[in-house]
Structure 1
């Protein structure tokens, strides 16, 4: 990597950044596909890598080789994307977590609507717990409430969700 190209990027030359992109894109994609084992995740990781490079090029130490710095960022992005995607749970599993079982295959459940119908007191903890995967302790700290209070709100929120989703029609009402 030519330090003059980095200097041009630092001065805001978009064509210089485009040259850097053209030079590294294919190799970055191949690497990201190997790491993530998933083409779409690889695309996300590569896109985020170039965004981070563009925003943080000023942090690059020009006395060191560019390629290791670039791939260190790429690998971190691959790991971040893989971690994020691991947290994506199919809707059926989310329904099981809150105690709703779909026993009829033709029943459509509008989880978003049921969730949105809850008071913030119950809705926000459910979102943080089941959609963002925070621990109960983390949520209690975020909301500045006692851990037992939070557990109570989660329980009541799950019950209200179950009722809102029609759980009693399918034999899941306790």
Structure 2
């Protein structure tokens, strides 16, 4: 089904692209918000991602899964926008600015803040692995990394999360 839809998009079928957009938009927005840490930047990144996908669909290798190709473009757009803006707005300031109290339990907010406070080198692989359920190979391809480098970043990222949430290092005796 996805290959048929992509073939129709390549041939210029706007309705097929609209279907793709509807299918991927929410997932892309959630990812972009977590990556950029800013809702407006996320909107820009997602909009530009869909434009690039539409313009460059002919470059997509239909022998490979579509989703990693799409998210590779999305991540690059997020990085480009973050580089352009060169600032990070903490979660508490974002929530304060829009006047929203989080409805999540404190544990979820703590996890979110711990994740958002991490360096992108560790944060992005953790997001792709544990929030989007990509394989290590797919993540390594998306981020243009060696699989062993990715595994190391995932391990260090998990350790940083554990530490920031007050957990004990792996293997320590209580």
TM-score, normalised with respect to structure 2 = 0.49
The structure with the larger Rg is: 1
